Amino acid sequence: MTNSLRDSLKTAVGEWYEGKLTRHNHLDALSHIDDALNHVPTEFAYKDRRQFMASCFGHFLTMHREMKFSGGIIHLLLLRELHHDGPTDEMQFMLRNQFVRFSKVEFCLITRLRFGIVPDKTKFAAMENGIHQRYFPGADEVSLEEIMGVVTVAEFGKVYNAVKLCLIYMLNWILMGVDERFKIFVWQFRLVEDLDAFDAFPWGAHVYRHSIYSFKHMLDGRRDRFE
């Protein structure tokens, strides 16, 4: 069994190299969401926090936050990736003499995010005087860095404004791990105006699709940089 797994390695044992991956773990930013919800005006602070905690991302605020990310361990795991005949959107690895799998099943169990068919994002209608217009008037593009600025310092004068901005912030910065210069898609601003529709969206499928693509290509071209 061990020899069979070794023969299926994408990177032969003799070609393994030392390295580590860039840290894209932003779990410490969960405190920014806590702070934003704590700075909501008293008259609707309870409603805002209750709404966020009941949302599709609310359970992340209750998770243990002292976890340590190790780029070296992730690098070693990716070196052990196997060729396989299974679904193209999963990864298989050799750990010692054991075969292990990472697929949407494991991702769903870990994250508790919803899976399903991702709808046509162009159908989400713009909302007059929504958070896009309210906080970024006249801006055709809004960067994640600008979202961060609002979440961390803004005064929220209307119920659920903080919730909507924190949901977009958590999606892109914490779950997707994108760069702060990333431009937020307009459809996200439109979707979040309907909090029920936002919660019903299959975010698990959306985040997993981008994550598995990133994992599969994470070692591309890296060997030359570490030799």
Q: Which distant-in-sequence residues (6+ apart) come within 8 Å of 15 by Cβ?
A: 223
pLDDT value, residue 156: 86
- Number of domains observed in the structure of the chain: 1
What 3-state class would DSSP assign to 102?
Answer: strand
Residue 204 has pLDDT above 60, yes or no: yes
The whole domain housing 121 covers 2-226
Residue 23 has pLDDT above 60, yes or no: no
Distance of CA 124 to the CA centre of its chain: 21
Residue 21 has pLDDT above 90, yes or no: no
Q: Region 181-187: what's the mean pLDDT?
A: 91
pLDDT value, residue 124: 73
Two structure tokens written together for 144: 């994640």
CA separation for the pair 223, 22 (Å, rounded): 14
Mean pLDDT (the chain) is: 88
CB atoms within 10 A of CB 150: 22
Two structure tokens written together for 34: 């806590």
- Residue 155 pLDDT class (50, 70, 90 cuts): confident
What global pTM score does this model have? 0.89
Residue 224 has pLDDT above 60, yes or no: no
| 55, 163 contact by CB (below 8 A) | yes
Q: Region 132-141: what's the mean pLDDT?
A: 87
